[in-house]
Amino acid sequence: MAASCCGSCAKGFCQIARRGLLVSVGAGSRGRCIASSGAGSYGRGWPGAGRPLLLGAVFALGGAFGAYRTLQRRFRGQKPLARQEASKLPEENLQLTLYQYKTCPFCSKVRAFLDYHGLPYEVVEVNPVMRNEIKFSAYRKVPILLASTGSTVQLNDSSVIISAFKTYLVSRRSLDEIMSYYPAMKATNDRGKEVIEYGNKYWLMLDEKETRNLYPVKEARVEEMKWRQWADDWLVHLISPNVYRTAGEALASFDYIVHEGKFGTIEGFFAKYVGAAAMFFISKRLKARHHLQDNVREDLYKAVDDWVEAVGHHRMFMGGSQPNLADLAVYGVLRVMEGLEAFDDMMTHTKIQPWYRRMEAAIGQSRVATQHSRR
């Protein structure tokens, strides 16, 4: 499973948009969703549908329009994060640019990592329909991180970005050398589709001394890798089915976005009603694909409590007194549900809240420290 988003964002914007692109512009759509979105027509099964193809086109076009306007309105005026002291970086003139969908859980993972480590970066919000912002790249999914020190290195796939950059911060070797340890390989997924996978993506490429310093206990490294992969292979697939569990939840999610963005009547209709209906049906396909229970909340609750149990009562984080890469991955995935009913239910019906609040505080403290270091 490639840890990148081309259609699994929690609030569904890029899922709808990608389907809109397939219907409205056809050729020129080469990106595949290999995270958690469904394939094919999501209009099938709509009550009284006599012409599913036409209805599917209406849903897709409306959803795409609503998705684009939602992102444009919601994130207008977003400012880059404050920069910290350059001495934190191995190369003082390093500039980072993150290309993302804000609501994509894989992109949220990368932001959690960068924010916690106090790394300065610029954000480029990608239009999920046309994706002109990443037309420079043959790799057509997000997140993409560009690291520039005169020459530019492109890092793809959220888990590769995190592993490679953590290796960079610890070893201080060049990013060019480090990226050679994460080769891109063609593979076939469980649906028979060709995808790009990355070797070693949960490994940090450190020598023996660096490894001992970072992981004083050998089992800590194995545990971190196991739960990072769990976040990609299981937890992320629980997001969309829970956010769009019912028609009411789907409508409430889009209603919030439309009201916050102050959409006009026509724009609001497409974004709210068409987008919510499309995502409601897509979520049912995802539920079947990943063999979830009829009440998908139960799968979410169990997954979250499994994580809390793994952290244990004796540790603040899986990383001990400080978050490790697994903590940051799980937090990044869950964070995209904030403000939605699924998130409130999770906080109420599981034991995640103390850990989650500690993660918020840890990342917030890193931001404050970064801002103070610049003064």
Contact yes or no for 270/59 (Cβ under 8 A): no
Using DSSP, state whether 225 is helix, strand or coil: helix
In one letter, which amino acid is 195?
A: V
Q: Of residues 59, 68, 99, 101, which has the active-site annotation?
A: 101
Angstrom distance (rounded) from CA 241 to CA 288: 10
DSSP letter at 204 equals: -
Q: Is 137 helix (H, G, I), strand (E, B) or coil?
A: coil
What is residue 149's three-state secondary structure? Answer: coil
Report DSSP letters for 51-72, one per residue: -HHHHHHHHHHHHHHHHHHHHH
Residue 362 amino acid letter: A
d(CA 154, CA 198): 14
Asked if residues 8 and 35 have their Cβ atoms less than 8 Å apart, the reply is yes
- The answer to whether 226 and 235 are in contact (CB under 8 A) is no
The active-site residue out of 6, 9, 33, 107 is 107
Which residue is catalytic, options 13, 42, 68, 106?
Answer: 106
Beta bridge partners of 124: 99
Q: How far, rounded to the nearest angstrom, does the alpha carbon of residue 93 sit from its chain's CA centroid? A: 27
**Residue 9 a catalytic site member:** no
- For residue 186, list its beta bridge partners: 196
* Rounded distance between C-alpha atoms, residue 213 and residue 228, angstroms: 20
Question: Residue 356, SS3?
Answer: helix
244 is catalytic: no
Helical residues (DSSP H) of 75-183, grouped into ranges: 105-116, 158-171, 175-179
Residue 3 CA to residue 197 CA, distance in Å, equals 9
| 104 has catalytic annotation | yes
Q: Which of 104, 215, 244, 270 is catalytic?
A: 104
Q: Is 75 one of the annotated active-site residues of the chain?
A: no
User: Between β-strands 95-100 and 122-125, what pairing exists: parallel, antiparallel or unpaired?
Assistant: parallel
User: What amino acid positions are annotated as catalytic residues?
Assistant: 101, 104, 106-107
